[in-house]
Structure 1
Amino acid sequence: MPERNDWEEKAKGLLRAEMSRHSVTYAQLTERLSEHGVKDNERNLRNKVARGKFTAGFFLLCLHALGSSHLYLD
């Protein structure tokens, strides 16, 4: 099995950090994403984030749904 890409790990960590910073659970993020037309369930969302395999567009939509106005890269 190929090793996980460092950038995928970084994206996963950033998304999880923003969820934590905004005190948003996977269930709540699923609801917020559905308001933007993303029909997914909590389990699928949790798995997608755990794998770190998502598009830049999905990442930005998640940040928007979380209400993030700043992204801390460190």
Structure 2
Amino acid sequence: MDWYKVARNVLRAELARHGVSYRQLAVLLAGIGVAETERSIANKLSRGSFSFAFYLQCMRALGRADVRLDLSDLN
């Protein structure tokens, strides 16, 4: 299983659910004191190798109060 692909897809799905582009995410992250550029976000998501801390920062920037991951569908 390609865990990097799974991670990438999970974060991309969250961005799509919120209708947020990489550029908008960079602005939202700046609002919580996290310095990222649109390009750095694109690079992280294309690799899928971002830290869990970055994922949590993104969820916070998107206004998520909680995060639930269902891993039962992964093979």
Q: TM-score range by the shorter chain?
A: 0.7 to 0.9
Q: For residue 34 of structure 1, report the CA deviation from its aligned partner.
A: 0.8
1:31 aligned partner: 27
| Structure 1 runs not aligned, ≥5 long | none
Q: Matched residues in 2 for 1:60 and 1:40: separation?
A: 14
**Higher relative contact order (CA closer than 8 Å, sequence separation 6+):** 1
User: Normalised by the size of structure 1, how large is the TM-score?
Assistant: 0.80
Secondary structure at the aligned position of 1:37 is classed as: coil
Verify: 1:45 aligned to 2:41, yes or no.
yes
Q: Matched residues in 1 for 2:51 and 2:67: separation?
A: 19
Most deviating of 51-60 and 61-70:
61-70
User: Normalised by the size of structure 2, how large is the TM-score?
Assistant: 0.79
1:36-63 deviation digits (Å, cap 9, x = unpaired): 2221210111111111111111111111
Q: Percent identity among equivalent residues?
A: 43
What is the root-mean-square deviation of aligned Cα atoms in Å?
1.7
2:10 aligned partner: 14
2:51 aligned partner: 55
How many pairs does the alignment contain?
70
